[in-house]
Structure 1
Amino acid sequence: MRAAVFRSPALIDIFRGVKRALGVLGAGVLAVALIVVPQPAFAADASYRTLSAARNPDWMGGLASGASLAALSIPGTHETLAIHGGDYVQAQENFGDSAATLTAQLNAGIRMIDIRARVNEGNTFTIHHGATYQVANFDDVLDKLAAFLAAHPGETVIMRLKQECTGETGSCVDASGQNSFPDIFDAYVAARPGLFWAPSVTRASAAAVPTLGAVRGKVVLAVLNGPRGGRFSNYGLAQFSGWNDGSSTYVQDEYNVPSVFSIPAKREAVSDFLATTNAGDPTKLYVNFASGAGAGAPPYWVAGGALWEQGVDPYVLDYLNDNTLSRTGVLMLDFPGGGLINKIISIN
């Protein structure tokens, strides 16, 4: 286990203030606080917060066109554009607004994205994580996808699109008087003919999992989710009819990680689903969320580790190095490192 430790500057300032206020006693309080308060345990490394160390803009181009997407090992990002809002909201490294962060991820090799949208005035989508606007709009997302796929036509990008706003505390509220979420989405699709793989964006019928050759240069919609889960029929892939808020047959999304002490359970959920994927139906696409958070565990603790607990990202890299898998399915990651992205791609 690595010994590198980094401390939150904000927390250190707090502890210094306590020390000044309490004098000699404060030194003891400070020492206890540094032991008791969970701190990020691991600095940036091959598994965590080093996305730019990977560069794989054309990795799908070398794969057989007849391969099903279900057969592939695919790195993805959870809350792909969650780069603002502080420790409990940010889930990805910040490479710029207006979806510039998406371009950085695509160039690194990310091929499944998780986009969360608020219904805004003018029947438009803005990108949110909860109440926090992520300084990007859905047009920015589609612009970046179109530009990337035009430059790298051998690739495909799988998208999960979710209506973000529930109206509850901590969430956002959709603008009133607008069209329905599916109607607005349809208008975006119609304005960009050829960008999406057509069978995945029709209300008439959901699609079977395609071959890579059928979707090169296209965006594949995996699922169109409502604000509390559930799929807007019949968008996306038919196998995800049961994709709700959390886990389902082909999705592991045990996102509730209440505290640092719950990180081992999240690691186990990810490794168990990797085993399920490896032994599962070869015609189905499995999506495994390595992300999680809770009141006592912000996303970066779960991803990178805290106190004595190994984070999910380094755990997954160790697991993949120690086990021989035929496929990983899609791994949806927070703050992925370049080495982890490279490892997932290498399994292909």
Structure 2
Amino acid sequence: MTDRTAPPTALRHTAPHRTDRTPRSRTMGIERRELLKWGAGLGAATVTGIALPGTAWAAAGATTPRGLPTDNWMSRLSGDLSLLDLTIPGTHDSCCENPAYGTEWSHTQNWGIPQQLTEGVRFLDIRCNGLQGAPDELGIYHSDAYQHIRLQDVLDRCRAFLQSHPGETVLMRLRNERAGGQSLDDTEFMRRVNHYFDGLGYRGLFHFYGWPTLATARGKVVLIADFANPWGLIDWSSGENGWFDTQDLWQTGGLDPLGTKGGRIVAQFDKAFLNPGHSKMFVNFLSYAGGYWPKTSSQALMDRTVYPYLNARTQQRARFGIVPMDFPDFHVNVLQMLIDKNFI
């Protein structure tokens, strides 16, 4: 597929019956009553009209070096622009805020979703398994480590932000993580996704088909499917397909693996710069694991490679596509320079 906007295809409103019984992990699962308690405490948007913690959007974000407010920077761009024409800062494993929910290996962010969005992040990397005691729901995981947040909590936070910032959009990679005792097969994952769309009423929050213009995407979550489906959605690739050209080297050998990763990052930035009319979305992950804690690799890559590259090109407009990163709070300068790329 080479067309930048695939034609709409009917998305099933009815879910297939579940055909398996996924084993339930005693260690990673939680009781239903605890799910509801944690969901409320983590800031699901509203319950019976009462705002819950984490959903107020009164505090504005910062401003970039070019003076753009980070909480509503997209609203200042022409609605005629395709999302393919933008530089879109993002986060990798967007909900992994607490090393207690895994280890420092699974800890990739300090900001929660509300602050990420307020600070200008517009791509979220959301990875799901099933939840013990909640047969229709999806929890957010890093591999088999449950992050104590459910998909509906993430969607409620996005909806609250977009209602307060209607000129913005959020791109969301929704991944079947397929890990641990709560791993789901393709059929069951699709059934639960349909439950969110129709049973829980989130269908209207999403844009489903093809890369839209910014005007079409405003106020919506643009769904990027990293799960098997027959629906004709934007189909994620960690390499290259008809939708994406992605750099996601997260592990390699050699004497200087971070040097190798840095070289891949620069090559992908250069490729995007040299192909401004490319029909695919470029993605350039700044994150790396490969034997390093994410905090260590993130800071080294930012200091050695990413910041010097961007700082030398502050007056050069570029369409870099989606740029996911770990710990943008440690490198706000990089986050803001990426936003500014859209206004040069």
Give the whole-Å Cα distance in 1 for the aligned partners of 2:303 and 2:97: 18
Give the whole-Å Cα distance in 2 for the aligned partners of 1:274 and 1:109: 20
Residues 259 and 332 of structure 1: is their aligned pair in 2 closer, same or farther, counting only changes over 3 Å?
farther
Q: Name 2:226's counterpart in structure 1.
A: 225
Q: Which runs of 5+ in 1 are unaligned?
A: 1-51, 96-100, 167-171, 201-206, 306-310
Give the whole-Å Cα distance in 2 for the aligned partners of 1:150 and 1:325: 30
Aligned residues: 262
Secondary structure in structure 2 of the residue aligned to 1:180: helix
- CA drift at 1:131: 2.1
Q: Name 2:233's counterpart in structure 1.
A: 236
Deviations along 1:231-250, one digit per CA (max 9) or x if unpaired, are 53435326x4xx1xx42251
Residues 70 and 165 of structure 1: is their aligned pair in 2 closer, same or farther, counting only changes over 3 Å?
same
Give the whole-Å Cα distance in 1 for the aligned partners of 2:151 and 2:255: 34
- CA drift at 1:219: 0.3
- CA drift at 1:258: 5.4
Whether the 8 Å CA contact 2:126–2:173 is kept in 1: the answer is yes
Residues 319 and 184 of structure 1: is their aligned pair in 2 closer, same or farther, counting only changes over 3 Å?
same
What CA RMSD, in Å, does the superposition of the two structures yield over aligned residues? 2.3
Q: 1:88 aligns with which of 102, 105, 108?
A: 105
Greater mean alpha carbon deviation, residues 81-90 or residues 172-181: 172-181
Secondary structure in structure 2 of the residue aligned to 1:146: helix
Deviations along 1:236-276, one digit per CA (max 9) or x if unpaired, are 326x4xx1xx4225111111145882001111111101111
Q: Name 1:319's counterpart in structure 2.
A: 309
Secondary structure in structure 2 of the residue aligned to 1:123: strand
Whether the 8 Å CA contact 1:79–1:115 is kept in 2: the answer is yes
Q: 1:264 aligns with which of 240, 243, 259?
A: 259
Whether the 8 Å CA contact 2:196–2:203 is kept in 1: the answer is no
Deviations along 1:198-249, one digit per CA (max 9) or x if unpaired, are xx1xxxxxx3311000110000012x224xxxx53435326x4xx1xx4225
Whether the 8 Å CA contact 2:75–2:168 is kept in 1: the answer is yes
Q: 1:184 aligns with which of 189, 192, 215?
A: 192
In the alignment, does 2:296 pair up with 1:291? no
Q: 2:337 aligns with which of 331, 335, 343?
A: 343
Residues 260 and 76 of structure 1: is their aligned pair in 2 closer, same or farther, counting only changes over 3 Å?
farther
Give the whole-Å Cα distance in 1 for the aligned partners of 2:255 and 2:286: 15
Q: State the TM-score, normalized to the length of structure 1.
A: 0.70
Letter in 2 for 1:155: E
- CA drift at 1:135: 1.4
Deviations along 1:7-52, one digit per CA (max 9) or x if unpaired, are xxxxxxxxxxxxxxxxxxxxxxxxxxxxxxxxxxxxxxxxxxxxx8
Give the whole-Å Cα distance in 2 for the aligned partners of 1:265 and 1:124: 39
- CA drift at 1:330: 1.0
Residues 313 and 189 of structure 1: is their aligned pair in 2 closer, same or farther, counting only changes over 3 Å?
farther
Q: Name 1:274's counterpart in structure 2.
A: 269
In the alignment, does 2:239 pair up with 1:247? yes
- CA drift at 1:179: 6.0
Letter in 2 for 1:343: M
Secondary structure in structure 2 of the residue aligned to 1:173: helix
Give the whole-Å Cα distance in 1 for the aligned partners of 2:185 and 2:93: 27
Higher Cα Rg, which structure:
1
- CA drift at 1:312: 3.6
Secondary structure in structure 2 of the residue aligned to 1:124: strand
Q: Name 1:194's counterpart in structure 2.
A: 204
Q: Which runs of 5+ in 2 are unaligned?
A: 1-60, 64-68
Give the whole-Å Cα distance in 2 for the aligned partners of 1:322 and 1:234: 43
Q: 1:152 aligns with which of 145, 150, 165?
A: 165
Greater mean alpha carbon deviation, residues 213-222 or residues 183-192: 183-192
Q: Name 2:321's counterpart in structure 1.
A: 329
* 1:71-220 to 2 correspondences below 5 Å: 71-84=85-98, 85-93=102-110, 95=111, 101-120=112-131, 121-166=134-179, 172-174=180-182, 180-190=188-198, 191-197=201-207, 200=208, 207-220=209-222
Give the whole-Å Cα distance in 2 for the aligned partners of 1:139 and 1:331: 25
Give the whole-Å Cα distance in 2 for the aligned partners of 1:273 and 1:68: 20
Deviations along 1:320-348, one digit per CA (max 9) or x if unpaired, are 12133422211110111221111000011
Deviations along 1:95-120, one digit per CA (max 9) or x if unpaired, are 4xxxxx00110000000010011112
Give the whole-Å Cα distance in 2 for the aligned partners of 1:147 and 1:313: 34
Q: State the TM-score, normalized to the length of structure 2.
A: 0.71
Whether the 8 Å CA contact 1:317–1:343 is kept in 2: the answer is no
Deviations along 1:273-294, one digit per CA (max 9) or x if unpaired, are 1111112243322111111102
